[in-house]
């Protein structure tokens, strides 16, 4: 069973390289349409938090759930504030925006949790493991494309964004191994799930949505809203698939 768990988690991690399609786009073209990925990311992050992470947190720790989620929000704020202070004393020493670091932290935690879910599913039943793998892959494709867009917006080069995306996606391998070797209950990781939810909420509402307000005509605002709804709807149905 270890082989199946490792193979599935590695396949999911490799989905992060879907961002390689952007290598065939000119930098100016990619920069011009990054707002599409930002809108998609806003929708997918909010949906992942509200449809998957927050309900899971309340299910595992009803009374402590708000504290875990708020901790994720507040710690994300402190991390971003610290990064701003460190990099922008007097004049900014780097072009990398804090949102790049935040999305990496949140996505790394999220993928780690996915790894635990994947490993636990295989330990319960092989067919359930396969179904869960397919569901996670379907969930990760829009997520990874969105994350890649955020990293580009944050100032990363396409090559660096691809490498960072792969490393954060690789935490699913760590999570699946933890599930296999320790066979611990998912409740043990509820604080992490709540933290990831808070991180996603902060990132979407504090960093990404304000970005969407820039240079936006009425027509483009409607298009951005439609893209956000598409991302929300997509994650809603994929979350339902994972539950079944």
pLDDT of residue 90: 46
Overall number of domains in the chain: 1
Q: Contact at 8 Å (CB) between 99 and 199?
A: no
**Cβ atoms of 47 and 231 closer than 8 Å:** yes
**Angstrom distance (rounded) from CA 205 to CA 65:** 20
pLDDT digits (tens, 9 = 90+) for 136-172: 786 677 677 778 878 887 888 888 888 998 999 999 9
The stretches in the chain having pLDDT less than 70 are: 22-25, 27, 30-31, 83-96, 124, 128, 131, 135, 138-139, 142, 183-187, 215, 239-244
Per the domain annotation, does 182 fall within a domain?
yes
pLDDT of residue 244: 56
73 is a domain residue: yes
Tokens of 1: 């069973």
Residue 45: closest CA among 231, 194, 244 = 231
What integer pLDDT is reported at residue 228 of this predicted model? 92
**What range defines the domain where residue 51 resides?**
2-17+43-86+95-243
Q: How many CB atoms lie within 10 A of CB 197?
A: 30
Would you say residue 29 lies in a domain?
Answer: no
Question: Could you tell me the pTM of the whole model?
Answer: 0.68
Query: Domain for residue 31, yes or no?
Result: no
Q: What is the DSSP letter of 157?
A: -
């Amino acid at each position: 069973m270890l082989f199946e768990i490792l193979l599935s988690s590695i396949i999911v991690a490799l989905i992060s390289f879907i961002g390689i399609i952007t290598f065939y786009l000119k930098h100016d073209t990619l920069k011009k349409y990054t707002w599409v990925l930002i809108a998609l990311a806003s929708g997918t992050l909010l949906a992942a938090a509200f449809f998957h992470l927050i309900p899971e947190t309340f299910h595992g720790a009803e009374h402590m759930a708000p504290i875990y989620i708020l901790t994720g929000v507040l710690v994300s704020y402190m991390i971003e504030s610290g990064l701003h202070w460190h990099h922008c004393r007097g004049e900014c020493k780097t072009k990398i925006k804090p949102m790049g670091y935040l999305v990496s932290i949140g996505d790394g935690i999220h993928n780690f949790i996915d790894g635990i879910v994947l490993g636990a599913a295989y330990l319960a039943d092989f067919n359930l493991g396969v179904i869960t793998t397919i569901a996670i892959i379907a969930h990760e494709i829009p997520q990874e494309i969105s994350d890649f867009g955020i990293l580009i917006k944050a100032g990363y080069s396409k090559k660096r964004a691809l490498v960072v995306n792969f490393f954060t996606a690789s935490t699913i391998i760590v999570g699946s191994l933890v599930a296999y070797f320790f066979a611990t209950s998912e409740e043990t990781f509820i604080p992490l799930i709540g933290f990831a939810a808070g991180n996603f909420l902060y990132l979407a509402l504090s960093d990404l949505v304000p970005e969407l307000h820039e240079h936006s005509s009425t027509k483009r605002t409607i298009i951005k809203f439609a893209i956000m709804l598409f991302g929300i709807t997509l994650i809603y149905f994929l979350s339902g698939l994972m539950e079944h």
